[in-house]
Structure 1
Amino acid sequence: MLNTYGNHFIEKIINKDLKNQVYRKLRTRFPPEPNGYLHIGHAKSIYLNFYLAKKFNGYFYLRFDDTNPIKEKISYVKAIKKDLKWLGCMWDGTEKYTSSYFNYLYKYAIELINKGLAYVDKLKKNEIKKYRGTLIKPGINSPYRNQTIEENLLLFEKMKRGDFPEGNACLRAKIDMKSSFIIMRDPVLYRIIFSNHHQTRNAWCIYPTYDFAHCISDAIEHITHSLCTLEFQDNRRLYDWILNNISIKYRPKQYEFSKLNVEYSVLSKRKLKTIIEKKIVDNWDDPRLLTISGLKRRGYTPEAIKNFCMKIGVTKQENSVQLSLLESCIRSDLNVRAPRAMAILDPIKVIIYNMPDSQKEIITIPNHPNNKKMGTRKSIFSKEIYIDRSDFNEKPSKNNIKLSHGIFIRLRYAYVITVTKIKKNNFGKIICLICKYDKNTFRKNPINYRVSGVIHWIAKENVLNAIFNIYYPLFKIKKPDLEKTCLPFINNNSLVQKKGIVEKSIILNSKKNFYQFERVGYFCIDKDSLEKLQKKNHIITFNRIVTLKERKSNKLLKKQQH
C-alpha cells in the first residue's frame, strides 16, 4: 500500500520540500470536527495523511477541531477514534484538541486587536451577512469597524466575561470589505456561545471560529503540509493572513485536493443528520449510509476501503465516483477471504420420494473452492430439502436452466433431481415439490441425459432460520448531494427484508462473520445479531454486503422486491 498509494501532486510537493530541506520532518494530521460520524470521504483524507507520514518517516496526528460546543459531542469523539483504529490508521502520540489551545488562541486574538487588525462588532448575524455583499457586489464597512484599540479590548473582555447575550457581539478581522474573495471581508474570529464544552466544560463562553483556530493549531503542532479539500481553497488566503499577522513563528502551508463524491449517496454531515433525524435510516451506522461505521456494519473491510481510496487517487479534479467501483473493491477482497455457504432467501420444500426416510448422507463440502486452507465442512443430504423458489419454473421453457418437469438439475455438491409432482395450497401457491433423484449422479454427470444447471439447497436437518437485509441505494438519483434538499429523492425501497434459511453447520462453527452465499451474494452477520447469537430462539440476521456480480447503476433501483 505504501508503494502504490502515491505518485500524485501532493507527494511531489513533499518530495521537493524535503529534498530542499524546507522541513526536516514531515508532519500531517487529520483534523475532524466532532459534530458527526466519519464517512468514506473522510477515509480518503485519513489514508492520504496517514500514508504520506509513514512513507516519509514522519508523524501523523489526530486533532479534534472542537470549536463549536453546540454541535459537538463526546460520543462523536469516541466514534471517530474507533473508526481510525478500525481503518488501521493509528495516530502518533495522544489525540489532540483545538480546545487545548484556547489560551493561545485568545492571546493571538488580543494581538490582532492591539495591531488594529481586529474589532468587536455588535451587528446581528443577519446584518453581518447583508453588509458582507455578494460575489458581484462589494461589502460595506460595519459602523463598529473604526472603534479604537482600547474600546475593542474592553468590549472583547466583556465578551469573555459573558456580559453580552449570544449573537449580540463578535470579534471580526479587519481586512478588506471590498475584496473579491468574500472570505476576506472581515471574517468572524470569535463568537459568544453559552454551552457546555465536552473538554473545557464552562471555562469559556467565547469560542474561536474554525478558520481562526485551524491555522493556528496547525502552526502550534508544527504541521508541515495542511491538506484539505478544494472547498477550502479560498480559505487559504485567510489561513495565511492570520499566520502572517500574529507572532507565531512556524508556517505550515495549505494544499487542496478534490473531495470525494459517490453516486447515489450523500456525504454532507448536515444532510446525513437530517436523514437520521427524520428516521429515514436507523442511525449513523445504518448500512445504507457511506459512513465508516455504516460500511463496517454493512460488512465492508478496511482493506476494501483502502483499495477504493487508492484507486480513486488524489487530484484537483472534482468528479463523482461510481458506486460500482466501491462495490468492486469489497467484492474482490471478499472473493478471496470469504468462506462459502448455502443460503435460501425464499425457501420451497422439496421431497425426494425415491429416497428412504431413514437415509441421511454426510457430504463433505469445501469452504472455498480455490483455497484448501479454509478446510471443509460436513453437510447433510436427506429426503427433505429446501431450494430457492426462484430456481423452480412450473412451466418448462426452451433452454430452461431451472428445475421443472422433465428438466434435470444438479444439487450443488450432490445429486441430479427432476420434478415429478407439484403440491399447492388452497390459494394456488406452490408449497412443495415432489422430486426424484438419480443415486448414480453423486458429483458426476449422467450418461443418457443432459443436466441443465446447478442450484443450491439445504437439508431440513441443517436449517437455521434467518432474516436477510437486502440493501439498495438510498437515493433514486445519481447526485443527491448537489440538491438543496435530498429528501424528495429518497428510495423508499432501499431496505428489503426477507425471511429464509442458512446452513446451520458453517454459521455455528465458523469464526468468520462474513460469507459468500453461493449464487446469492456476499453477506455478513449484523452486529446486533452477532451479540445475540448464543441466545436461544434468536433468529440470526444477515446484511447483504454486495451482489456477486456488478450491476449497472440504473438497474439497481428496478424490481427490488424480486
Structure 2
Amino acid sequence: MSEEKKSLNFIEQIIEDDLNNGYNKEQLKFRFPPEPNGFLHIGHASSICLNFGLGLKYNAPVNLRFDDTNPIKEEKAYVNAIKKDVEWLGFKWAKECYASDYFQQLYDWAVELIKQGSAYVDSQSSEAIAAQKGTPTEPGQSSPYRERPITENLELFEAMKNGETPPRAHVLRAKIDMSSPNMLMRDPVMYRCLHEPHHRTGNDWHIYPMYDWAHGESDFIEQVSHSFCTLEFQPHRELYNWFVEKVSHEGELLPKQREFARRNLSHTVVSKRKLLRLVEENIVNSWDDPRMPTISGLRRRGFTAASIRNFANDIGIGKRENMIDVSRLEFSAREDLNKTTPRVMAVLNPLKLIITNYPEDKTEQLTAENNPEDPESGSRQIPFSREIYIEQEDFREEANRKFFRLKLGKEVRLKNAYIIKAEKAIKDDNGNIIEVHCTYDEDSKSGSGTEASKRKVKGTLHWVSVPHAIPAEVRLYDRLFTVEDPTAHKEKDFLDFVNPKSLEVITAQVEPSLKTAKALEKFQFQRIGYFCVDQDSSESNLVFNRTVTLRDSWKNK
C-alpha cells in the first residue's frame, strides 16, 4: 500500500473505493447543509472543513444548502451569519441552495407516493402516533388511518397544503413497516401542518416537510454524490435510501449517506439549545460573545480562520465520538498568531518606576521589531522616558535566586532599552508598594554596540512610558466551564459548572502605536499573550480581548 493510500481517512477511502468501482470524478459533488436556526459553532467548522476540503481535494463542487424546513425557528439573520462564517473560514460554495427551493417538487413527489399507496394522511394526535410506535423490542401498531382510501388521502393532503385544515390536525406519513427493527422505518412522518410564515416563501405553504423527507431528496435533486453527516444520523440511512429510491429512476446516480463521529470540545457545549440558554440567561452577552464556541465568537475573540482550519485538520475524522481538549484549539491559535501578529508592549497591572538618574525632560525614540518571525514586518519607534510602567508581578523587594525579574539591589534589562537597577520601594500608609525608584546604565542601550549594551543580565521586562501610555480596557477571557464535560453530570444542570472567572475586565496601559488599532486587528502583548481589538473599541476607548495566553497555564491553575 502506498504512503498516500495509508494517509487517507475513512471518508476519503469511501470516495476512492467508489471511484474504483464505477464513479468518475465528474460525478463527485458534496454539500454543507446547516439549518438556519442559530449560529455555527466549532463542531460545524469540522464539517465545513471536511466537505469543502473534499471539494478542493477532488476539484468537485460543494453546495451550501440551508435546511430551512422549520419556519418557527429559522431566520434570515441566521442565513446571513452562516454565509459570513463559511466565507470567513476561506471557502467558496458552487451554489447557494435552500430546501425551500424544492417545496413544490417535494410536494409533487409526496402526491406520487400517496398514489402508489406508499403514504397516507394520519389524523391522530402526535401523542397517539408516538404511543403506537412500539419499542426497539416490540413492533408498533398500525394507525387506524393507515388504509385510508387513496382519493381521500389526496383530498386531505391538498387541503392541508392550502391551509384548509387546522394546524397539526393531520400529518402525512410514509407507509413502510410498523414491525421494522429500525423504529425510524415505522411509518415516519413526512409532512406536518404549520400555519407559519417562512423566511423565504412567506405564507405560500401551510405544510412543511420533515428533515428525513427533505434532506435525501434535496441531495438527489442537486445530484450530490456523497452526503456526509454525523453519527447520530446512522439509523436514518435506511430511511434516507428508501425515500430516494422511491423517487428515482433506473440508471440515475443516487446520493450515498455516510456518517462520521462528532468531535466534542472540552470545557464548553455545542448544543444549539444549550448555547441559546447561555444567551437567554445572560451567562454570556450574545451569540458572538468571545467565550462562546460559535465561529463568530471565536472570530471576535481573535482566532484566525487558518487556526480553525488547522485545528479541524489536526483532529481529523473518526468513527467514534471523543473529547478534544480545548488546549489543542488554543495551540493552533498560538501557532498561527505567532507567525502573523506584530509584537507590542502593554502592561496589564501597572506599577510605576522612576529612573532617578534619567533626565526629567528627556524622551527618546527606541527601535523595536514588529515581528521577529516575519523579517518583512519591519520595525517601529516606541517612546522612552524617566517614568515607566512595569507589571506589578515583575517586582519584589526580596526574592529567591529563581526570581529573575526586578528586586531591590538587582538588575534587569528593559526590552529594547536599558539595564536598570532597583534602589528603593515607595509604599503607601497601608504598606502597599506604589512606586519603585531605579537607576539606569546610560551605556547599556540595546543595539548601541557598546560593551555595556552586551552585558548579560538574567531578566528582561516589558514596559510602557508613563507620559505616552494609553489606557485600554482589556477583557481577559478564560474557559467558560470549570469541568471538561459540563453535560456529563446527569444529576446537575450544565450551568452549575459555569466558570465564575471566565471574564475579568481590567484597565491596562499600552504603547501609543495602538491608538489607531482597528476592530479585529491582532497583536502579541509581549510576555503576556495574544490579543484582538474588540468591535466595541473606538479611538477614545480601546478595547482588547485576550485570545490566548502565550503558554497553556490552565492545568497549572
1:326-365, aligned counterparts within 5 Å?
A: 326-365=329-368
1:288-367, aligned counterparts within 5 Å?
A: 288-367=291-370
Count matched residues.
Answer: 546
> Are residues 4 and 299 of structure 1, via their aligned partners in 2, closer, same or farther at CA, if it must alter by over 3 Å?
farther
- Measure the CA separation in 2 of the matches of 1:331 and 1:83: 21
Partner of 1:20: 21
Partner of 1:149: 150
Partner of 2:526: 518
Is contact 1:407–1:452 with CA below 8 Å preserved after alignment?
A: no
SS at match of 1:304: helix
User: What's the C-alpha RMSD, in Å, of the aligned pairs?
Assistant: 2.2
1:74-473, aligned counterparts within 5 Å?
A: 74-93=76-95, 95-247=96-248, 249-443=252-446, 451-473=457-479
SS at match of 1:202: coil
SS at match of 1:364: strand
Select between 165-174 and 501-510 the one with higher mean Cα deviation.
501-510
Partner of 1:11: 12
Deviation readout 1:463-500 (Å, 9 max, x if unpaired): 11111111111112112244564222211221111111
Select between 16-25 and 541-550 the one with higher mean Cα deviation.
16-25
SS at match of 1:120: strand
> How much has 1:144 moved relative to structure 2?
1.9
- Measure the CA separation in 2 of the matches of 1:144 and 1:488: 47
Is contact 2:132–2:141 with CA below 8 Å preserved after alignment?
A: yes
Matched, 1:37 2:67: no
Amino acid at match of 2:71: P
Amino acid at match of 1:376: S
- Measure the CA separation in 2 of the matches of 1:123 and 1:280: 41
SS at match of 1:543: strand
Give the counterpart of 1:528 among 536, 539, 543: 536
Is contact 1:108–1:246 with CA below 8 Å preserved after alignment?
A: yes
- Measure the CA separation in 2 of the matches of 1:511 and 1:162: 49
Give the 4+ runs in structure 1 shifted more than 6 A.
3-6, 447-450, 509-512
Amino acid at match of 1:121: D
Deviation readout 1:484-524 (Å, 9 max, x if unpaired): 64222211221111111111125537998111111100111
> Are residues 445 and 412 of structure 1, via their aligned partners in 2, closer, same or farther at CA, if it must alter by over 3 Å?
farther
- Measure the CA separation in 2 of the matches of 1:439 and 1:116: 95
Select between 270-279 and 141-150 the one with higher mean Cα deviation.
141-150
Select between 368-377 and 232-241 the one with higher mean Cα deviation.
368-377
TM-score, with length taken from structure 2? 0.93
> How much has 1:244 moved relative to structure 2?
1.6
- Measure the CA separation in 1 of the matches of 2:519 and 2:323: 37
SS at match of 1:528: coil
Deviation readout 1:361-382 (Å, 9 max, x if unpaired): 2211111223321111111111
Partner of 1:489: 497
SS at match of 1:240: helix
> Are residues 337 and 67 of structure 1, via their aligned partners in 2, closer, same or farther at CA, if it must alter by over 3 Å?
same
- Measure the CA separation in 1 of the matches of 2:335 and 2:524: 12
SS at match of 2:474: strand
Select between 103-112 and 141-150 the one with higher mean Cα deviation.
141-150
Deviation readout 1:237-263 (Å, 9 max, x if unpaired): 110011122345441111111112111
Select between 500-509 and 252-261 the one with higher mean Cα deviation.
500-509
- Measure the CA separation in 2 of the matches of 1:193 and 1:475: 38
Is contact 2:353–2:435 with CA below 8 Å preserved after alignment?
A: yes
Is contact 1:462–1:505 with CA below 8 Å preserved after alignment?
A: no
Amino acid at match of 1:441: S
TM-score, with length taken from structure 1? 0.92
- Measure the CA separation in 2 of the matches of 1:157 and 1:414: 81
Structure 2: 5+ residue stretches without partners: none
Structure 1: 5+ residue stretches without partners: none
- Measure the CA separation in 2 of the matches of 1:372 and 1:461: 30
SS at match of 2:443: coil
Is contact 2:40–2:85 with CA below 8 Å preserved after alignment?
A: yes
- Measure the CA separation in 2 of the matches of 1:287 and 1:275: 13
Deviation readout 1:65-86 (Å, 9 max, x if unpaired): 1000000000000001111111
Is contact 1:408–1:450 with CA below 8 Å preserved after alignment?
A: no
> How much has 1:147 moved relative to structure 2?
1.5
Is contact 2:398–2:407 with CA below 8 Å preserved after alignment?
A: yes
Is contact 1:380–1:461 with CA below 8 Å preserved after alignment?
A: no
- Measure the CA separation in 2 of the matches of 1:391 and 1:250: 68
